Amino acid sequence: MAEAGRELIARAKRGDRAARERLARRHRREVFRVAYAILGDDEEAEDATQEALVRMLRGLAGFDERRDLGAWVRRIAVNCALNAMRRRPDEAEAPGEQTAASNTADEAQTHDLQRAVRRALAELPERQRVAMSLFALEEMDLRSTAEAMGCAEGTVKSHLHRARQRVREILSDWLED
């Protein structure tokens, strides 16, 4: 599998259009999930996914196929998502603030909890928010989060502990019921 992956990367580096397309399709889902975890908006995540895939295809020429392509692509996705988040107007409403019409009391409570979580994450420093969002993804662990953020695992631990404690304090009314 790893050998097949390296061969595919080598073909893509030589300009094989089919190999390039296969690589893009193979990694587009995790790119989108990372972007959405940081941005929280489908449209912005789509734009960030497109930009990340373009960067991946452009950077293939200088990529060492012995390295983990997935980690490198997630790192690109994090940077594109952060760039998109920094381009937001200051006064713009944070994505996910809009609530759909709730039909039941449970749905209304769920939407209120989601808004509360969004506000709690928005109050965190950027590195803490990114660390907690990426680590919360199912496929991410400490190592992959550290690779995606471009820092050491110890740094990610520190970010995670502070972020987790802060969110727990902000959502105390919701979490202690």
Partner 1 sequence: MTCTEARDLMHQALDGCEEARRRLEAHLAECPECRDEFEALQRAQDVVAEMVASDPPEDRLERATVAALAVADHRQHTRSPWAALAMAAAVLVAFGVGLLAGRAVWPREVVRMERVPQIVEKVVEREVPVVEERVVVKRVPVVRERIVYRDRPAKATEAEEQPPAAPPEPVMPEIREERIVAKPMPITITQTEEVAPAPVVDEETPEADEIGGEPRAPEEQRLALETSASKGGRIVQ
Residues that bind partner 1 (CB under 8 A): 15, 17, 20-21, 24-25, 28-29, 32-33, 36-37, 40, 42, 45-47, 49-51, 53-54, 57-58, 96, 113-114, 117-118, 121, 132-133, 136-138, 141-142, 157, 160-161, 164-165, 167-168, 171-172, 174-176
Q: Which is nearer to partner 1, 3 or 143 (CB)?
A: 143
The residue (of 3 and 129) whose beta carbon lies closer to partner 1 is 129
List the one residue out of 47, 70, 65, 75 whose CA is nearest residue 134: 75
Q: Name the minimum Å distance from CB 13 to partner 1.
A: 11
Cβ–Cβ contacts within 10 Å for residue 115, how many?
Answer: 15
What gap in Å lies between CA 130 and CA 43, rounded to an integer?
19
Tokens coding 24: 């893009």
- Check if the beta carbon of residue 37 is closer than 8 Å to that of residue 133: yes
Q: Which is nearer to partner 1, 3 or 164 (CB)?
A: 164
> From the CB of residue 141, how many other CB atoms can be counted at a distance below 10 Å?
13
CB of 70 to partner 1, least distance (A): 16
Least distance in angstroms from the C-beta of 28 to partner 1: 5
Name the minimum Å distance from CB 144 to partner 1: 11
Q: How far apart are CA 149 and CA 151, in angstroms?
A: 6
